[in-house]
Amino acid sequence: MKIVLIGPAYPLRGGNALFVAHLYEALAETNEVTVISFSRLYPGFLFPGVRQTDVSGVAIKKHPAHPIIDCLNPATWFEAARVAASIDPDLLVITWWNPFFGPIVKTIASSFKRRTGRPIVIIAENVVSHEARWIDLYLTMMALRQADRFLVLSGIVENDIRRLFPSSKVFRSSLPIYDCYRVGEPFTQKQAKERLNLAGKNVILFFGYIRGYKGLMNLIEAFPLVREGVENVHLLIVGEYYDDPKPYRDAIERLGFRVSVTEVAEYVANEDVHLYFEAANVAVLPYNGATQSGILSIAYGFAKPVIVTDVGGLAELVDEGKTGFIVPPHDRKKMAEAIIRFFKEGREAEFSSNIVEKREKNSFNRIQEVFEEIRNDVTRP
């Protein structure tokens, strides 16, 4: 089967590019896959981070791609459609995650369909953005109406797609387990803690870029309660601020536990990710809203137990009391109780072992079969 996959790819950074890389690798084993990517993903004034490209010393899942699409140049959108059509694929697959790309997806998909009549599959990470405005739904619908079939990665998105497009066919998978960060010098947990001057500490990890919906403030406000119940506990905050860092830092000072926090306020190079996850005893995802999370997939890649809030599709990937704990969002008391319980009951080894077993059952492992089902469905008379 010939597949053209449209989405961000290396050297662009971030979870979407990581997903495209894993999808390419999985599908290319038995299919002819071409990736059409972006030469510019976001205009500078809309991107809150330092840079959009990956400058790590080690490339994770590097693969061939054609960086054609400039988000600000519609001529490149038509060019992407022309190149995709010239390949004459069995499927055009477009990844979707942000309403900003609505006009781009609509232009590429409609131009491609006029040229070829071939089916279009949209992989929907979400339906509207985490911080949705009325315009977000309009732009989302503009794009998603182009799909002949949908592939979703969580139950909440499946429900949203079926509500908005009740006659559409929806296929289901999940994010892959991102076990690709074990690069560079290996560390034991003890060695990683020593490298970070955290020897003897019970380490809680918050990892990933920092924005309101990620809920770091929930964890900060819960942490004084955690300190009352867990000896030598330490909060490790690792990620680039997409928000103003001052309110977070002011809260830490106000609550009086600056000495129990290590902050690495930057986008972490691929070769350094394992240092922070290896040092952690548990990863906490205190989100206010989400569909699914690449951070959870990375944590599972390191067999790290998790504590997550019950938002979106996060809880779907956590076996309560086996791979982690699930707590209500915005409830600092429940979050603190779950963290204390994790350490008091000594659940780390048990949870880690269960995660290793769970990884083998990850539905992304059968993604090739899902695409065969999609192809058979769209070609059925």
Give the separation between CA 366 and CA 242, rounded to whole angstroms. 35
Give the separation between CA 14 and CA 1, rounded to whole angstroms. 28
In a domain, 375, yes or no: yes
Same domain for 233 and 327?
yes
Mean pLDDT of the residues in the chain? 92
Give the separation between CA 244 and CA 184, rounded to whole angstroms. 32
Domain encompassing residue 328: 189-359
In a domain, 279, yes or no: yes
Same domain for 142 and 203?
no
Residue 338 has pLDDT above 60, yes or no: yes
Give the separation between CA 226 and CA 229, rounded to whole angstroms. 5
In a domain, 184, yes or no: no
Question: How distant, in Å, are the alpha carbons of 1, 35, 118, 289, 335 from that of 219?
Answer: 46, 38, 47, 14, 8
Element housing 308 (H / E): strand 306-309
Which class for 206: exposed (0-12), middle (13-18), buried (19 or more C-beta within 10 A)?
buried
Q: What average pLDDT does this structure show over 205-216?
A: 94
List of residues 6+ apart from 150 with CB closer than 8 A: 121, 122, 123, 124, 144, 161, 165, 168, 169, 170, 171
Residue 349 has pLDDT above 70, yes or no: yes
pLDDT of residue 381: 58
Q: Give 46's pLDDT tier (boundaries 50, 70, 90).
A: low
pLDDT of residue 55: 67
Same domain for 102 and 165?
yes
In a domain, 181, yes or no: no
pLDDT of residue 299: 97
Q: What average pLDDT does this structure show over 279-295?
A: 91
SS3 39: strand
Same domain for 34 and 148?
yes
Residue 268 DSSP class: P
Q: Give 377's pLDDT tier (boundaries 50, 70, 90).
A: very high
Same domain for 258 and 151?
no
Same domain for 211 and 112?
no
Residue 146 DSSP class: T
Q: Give 274's pLDDT tier (boundaries 50, 70, 90).
A: very high
In a domain, 200, yes or no: yes
Greater model confidence, 56 or 281: 281
Q: Give 292's pLDDT tier (boundaries 50, 70, 90).
A: confident
Q: What tens digit of pLDDT does each residue of 212-270 get?
A: 999 999 999 999 999 999 999 999 999 999 899 999 999 999 999 999 999 999 989 88
pLDDT of residue 13: 84
Question: How distant, in Å, are the alpha carbons of 18, 188, 301, 309, 343 from that of 22?
Answer: 6, 26, 13, 26, 34
52-61, 161-170, 199-208, 263-272: segment of lowest average pLDDT: 52-61
Give the separation between CA 115 and CA 105, rounded to whole angstroms. 15
Same domain for 350 and 372?
no
Q: Give 131's pLDDT tier (boundaries 50, 70, 90).
A: low
Same domain for 154 and 216?
no
Same domain for 224 and 340?
yes
Q: What tens digit of pLDDT does each residue of 152-180 get?
A: 999 989 999 999 999 999 999 999 999 98
Q: What tens digit of pLDDT does each residue of 76-91 get?
A: 999 999 999 999 999 9
Same domain for 347 and 371?
no
Element housing 298 (H / E): helix 294-301
Same domain for 267 and 350?
yes
Residue 353 has pLDDT above 70, yes or no: yes
| 42 neighbors 52 (Cβ within 8 angstroms) | yes
In a domain, 275, yes or no: yes
Q: Give 321's pLDDT tier (boundaries 50, 70, 90).
A: very high
pLDDT of residue 168: 93
Q: Give 44's pLDDT tier (boundaries 50, 70, 90).
A: confident
**CATH code of the domain in which 310 resides:** 3.40.50.2000
Same domain for 260 and 281?
yes
Residue 370 has pLDDT above 60, yes or no: yes
* Domain total in the chain: 2
